[in-house]
Chains A and B, each alone.
Chain A
Amino acid sequence: MIIEHPLLGPRDAAEFVYLGDAAMIDRPDGMTVDDTGMHDYMYLRDNPAGDIRELWYHEQGDRSWLVVTRNTITHEITKVELARDVARRSGRSR
């Protein structure tokens, strides 16, 4: 697979390490979340057959975490973003 890195251009997927669903960005605050909330964050997945937004880490490159929108049936990639931008857009800051 080829991932269009937003800063570096097309890179072979073998340069990256995969984590999983980009919902991992939405970590609840451990001091306020209830048991189920943290459990659901950690363990439950939509696991869609179709487009998924997922986290890839450019370990053999610039060490960016990326959010890649990819189809799990065709493997077609339609969007690649810096995870930091995605996190900020979803309201994460400090």
Chain B
Amino acid sequence: MSQPNRIAGGQIDDKHALSFRWNGRNLTGYAGDTLASALLANGIRLVGRSFKYHRPRGIFSSGSEEPNALVQLREGAAQEPNTRATMVELFDGLVATSQNHRGALEWDLLAINDLISPLLSAGFYYKTFMWPKAFWEKLYEPVIRSAAGLGRLSELADPDIYDHGFLHCDLLVIGAGPAGLTAARAAARAGCRVILADEDFRMGGRLNAETHAVADMPGAEWASATCAELASMPNVRMMPRTTIYGAFDHGIYGGIERKTDHLVDSAGKPRQVLWRIMSKRALLCAGATERSIAFANNDRPGVMLAGGVRSYVNRYGVAPGQQVAVFTNNSDGLRTAADLEAKGIAVSAVIDARKGDAVIDTSGRKGLRSLRLNDGRKISADCLAVSGGWSPNVNLTCHHRGRPVWNDGIMGFVPAGDLPPGLSVAGAANGTMTLASVIAEAHDAAKMIACDLGHARGAGKAPTSSDETYEASAIWHVGGSQARAWVDLQNDVTTKDIKQSMEEGFQAVEHVKRYTTLGMATDQGKTSNTLGIAIMAAASGNAIPDTGTTVYRPPYTPVSIGAFAGRSRGKDFRPFRLTPSHEWALANGADFVETGMWLRAQWFKRPGEAGWRDSVDREVAMTRASVGICDVTTLGKIDIQGRDAAEFLNRVYSNPFLKLPVGKVRYGLMLREDGIVYDDGTCARLAETHYVMTTTTANAGTVFRKLEFARQCLWPDLDVHLISTTDGWAQFAVAGPNSRALLSKVVDSMDLSNEAFPFMACSECRVFGGTPARLFRISFSGELAYEIAVPARYGHAMMGALMQVGEEFNAVPYGTEALGVMRIEKGHAAGNELNGQTTAHMLGLGGMVSRKKDSIGSKLSERPEMIRDDGLRLVGFRPVDRTQMLSAGAHFLEKGAPADMAHDQGWMTSVAYSPELGHSIGIGYLKRGGERFGETVRAYSPVRNQDIMVEICSPHHIDPEGERQRG
């Protein structure tokens, strides 16, 4: 269990050993390790394969920019693909495997792609696989797809939970390196409410990885002390393990906090929390990302970023190799040799490109063995620390589509002026590359923000620190070899690909990206984009600033989809709305159906009933024979009051409403302003200035919204007031010939005779000795029927009481299916007919649109194509062979006409089996339907394998004169 590459020092706890499994091997690391540092400590260099050529890949960096070391973490349903080993905090019992290889990692069969790589040059797939045509789906694509992708989904439901949270602050500091810590401290001392977020589990940023001194202490110690001070302040929230992934509008930042990813098991706690942070100001202190240099075979395991090498040596106590060479084009890279030597690690060469030295090739099949230099020397090395300079992490500054500008001084893109409002930048993210100036800049920025926000307490002084100059040079690509030099390690984009792309005419930076896939890997080009742009500039002869950049898009680093979804999954995807009689229905055999958010009783199953049709047929038959009760609370109810209520209704309904007497209900037809039928329902006048409107269940919210629009925006001085009472009143349909007899025993002292309370009457009343109620004599079933409403808190009791009183009449509860059957028998339009494409003419209700007044939609409903005489009309249908069942969605064709769109005559909207008629019935729209009763047409439903003859009839299949409901 020895760790061959472990060295002394660092910020790991070597008293606290952790065991983990890698590709089936048991290994040991320490608390404070990442999976990457623990693998390196154990001498493991080969950790994965590249995307296209399946080249051996090793750990390249020590941070979130890692393009190579992607692993599958955990097992079973918790298996997590593409996890960057550099970001995985080691825990006891960790299990990880390598990914993207066929066969063992060491002997990946798909490494053959590397041998045939000349065939696989940039964009090769656009130029072949076209013949024969049928081979694409059958052969070429399956082969391509079998090799596609990196990690593997478990294909099982994610077992973890995710939370969403909201935070508010004066200042959000993004990144807790020297700049972030300095800024957070200054702003917090000044009195700001500060949130300090960092993606690492240990705050301090590069201070943990370097040997700088701050305030006369080692940088890492100063970072710890500053964190401790900040943590003790009540106005500071410290958020380690939290990535600020995006800058959105109006000071809103997205953050993802990894709560249990460093634990072996989330133990029922949220795995991650997705934060929406509302900030007055934000300060980006995200540092910079190192990049490589393009030289032949610069992709071998062992070739690492120099800053990463220093992280492993200084922070993790790990020697990334036994013989390390350093290749740099800037002053920063040289620190590496000093740090290595200080730890007693052999440095085999320091190659400074600024002096004309360069690595021109490497060797070592599964790990670096040696380097060849441009002066002909061959140098042994199992690790090469490369520094091609640093690129400021400007990503968040560009999330509002700003573009960074090129800075020749640091050879990198720095934020321009077009930042998201409220965001400023300090430190290396701003192109400030030396420690003392980073700290000074961050301190000043925080002080200024605190001052802007009116926090005038003393911010204190910026700490002193060690400092040195930073010089970078424009050395990007080392020639001198025919072999490939990598730019994008994960996607296998080489300098040759970029050059070929440009030769083929793909010269815009976006074209190069899309043609070669440069920068489109899981690191989104963090280590490759700037290098790629420099190679493009060199190939075209343009300057880098004229070459431009691609667009930086959120998220900064990838975020779990589960975190974005949060708790809204499974049954909790959307809330349930339950009717007042839900518990009663549950106890009485109901099966439920989703109606929007509502759960409604679909039917009430009784013992002995074999299928749903048995239940529904019984409910319909018994309702029509005696009495049935249905919870119709879900229909929208809008209380409308005011001196101008009648005038208001007259403008929002297309039929007249000015003369509706008190105590009466009227059917109302509502159009959209474009003249299409929007909704229908009833409106009852309870008092001179008091109406109750009902809407369909589906449109309850949107009709209310539309009425508010009319009230506030169109006619702001009408005296009319609205409130939605859908949830306030429980409402039940009591339908059937015995409904009056039943209700007589329910309603307190009220004459329900046909004379005293006729069809379309309404009244406030009391039931069961004093409970307030509203009674409406309206009928959706076509029977003698009422709807009775009581305050919702009585709804459950009311359902039980109605059924109890109804026992002597054999009353049945009925569900939405029976409701649907009865309304189809009556030819009443519902959702299937009112689908937003329906005119009043199609419903045969053209006459209801009053021409004598201006109401919403009346003007545009008169347009010529909407009132054509040869247009669609709602009619009824029955099968010529009465034993056949109709099918909704069937299209109508003339007998003998070809089955094509030109001969399409309409379609069946709704069908049902009518127990009273003993056969299937339907309603639907048919061209000139109103003139064609008695004709037969084909009801053609090829997707149902159905093609039957149907007879056209009135949509009112039962009681066409409406005698029952008036009786």
Contacts and interface: CB of A to CB of B under 8 A. Distances in A.
A55 B863 contact: no
A46 interface: no
Interface string A63-94: 11100000000111100001110111000111
B705 to A, nearest CB: 6
A30 B712 contact: no
Interface in B848-862: 853-855, 858-860
B858 A30 contact: yes
Contacts of B421: 74, 76
Interface in B830-873: 853-855, 858-860, 863
Interface in B276-327: 278
Contacts of A57: 705, 708-709
A88 B249 CA distance: 31
A65 B714 contact: no
Given A2-B252, A59-B705, A94-B644, A64 B712 contact: yes
Contacts, number: 77
Given A2-B250, A33-B859, A42-B674, A87 B716 contact: yes
B250 A75 contact: yes
Contacts of B400: 74
A83 B713 CA distance: 6
Given A2-B251, A31-B854, A42-B860, A65 B717 contact: no
A93 B250 contact: no
B211 to A, nearest CB: 44
Given A30-B854, A42-B860, A75 B713 contact: no
B701 interface: yes
A75 B854 CA distance: 37
B718 interface: yes
A42 B860 CA distance: 9
Given A17-B705, A30-B858, A74-B400, A92 B714 contact: yes
B951 interface: no
A45 interface: no
B673 interface: yes
B125 interface: no
Contacts of B863: 35
Contacts of A25: 713-714
A90 to B, nearest CB: 10
B715 interface: yes
B854 A38 contact: no
B279 to A, nearest CB: 11
Contact of A65 (B252, B708, B860): B708
Kindly state the interface size class of chain B when it binds its partner: 20 to 34
A33 B859 CA distance: 9
Contacts of A74: 400, 421
Contacts of A88: 716-717
Contacts of B278: 2
Interface string B666-705: 0000000110000000000000000000000000010001
A53 B854 CA distance: 26
A21 to B, nearest CB: 12
Contacts of A2: 249-252, 278
Nearest to B710: A27
B251 A59 contact: no
A84 B716 contact: yes
A17 B716 CA distance: 20
A44 to B, nearest CB: 13
Contacts of A64: 712
Nearest to A59: B705
A29 B855 CA distance: 9
Nearest to A38: B859
B249 A87 contact: no
A55 B860 contact: no
A65 B712 contact: yes
A41 to B, nearest CB: 8
Contacts of A59: 701, 705
A87 B716 CA distance: 7
A93 B644 CA distance: 12
A37 to B, nearest CB: 9
Given A1-B249, A94-B644, A30 B855 contact: yes
A11 to B, nearest CB: 11
A28 to B, nearest CB: 8
Contacts of B716: 84, 87-88, 92-93
A19 B644 contact: no
B717 to A, nearest CB: 4
Most buried by B among A17, A27, A86, A87: A27
Given A1-B252, A42-B674, A57-B705, 15 more contacts: A1-B248, A17-B705, A19-B709, A27-B673, A29-B854, A30-B854, A30-B855, A35-B863, A55-B709, A83-B713, A84-B712, A84-B716, A86-B713, A94-B715, A94-B718
Interface of A: 1-2, 17, 19, 24-25, 27, 29-31, 33, 35, 38-39, 42, 55, 57, 59, 63-65, 74-77, 82-84, 86-88, 92-94
Interface of B: 248-252, 278, 400, 421, 644, 647, 673-674, 701, 705, 708-709, 712-718, 853-855, 858-860, 863
Please list the 9 inter-chain residue pairs (A to B) with the smallest Cβ-Cβ separation, ordered nearest first.
A30-B854, A30-B859, A2-B250, A93-B717, A84-B716, A84-B712, A1-B249, A75-B249, A87-B716
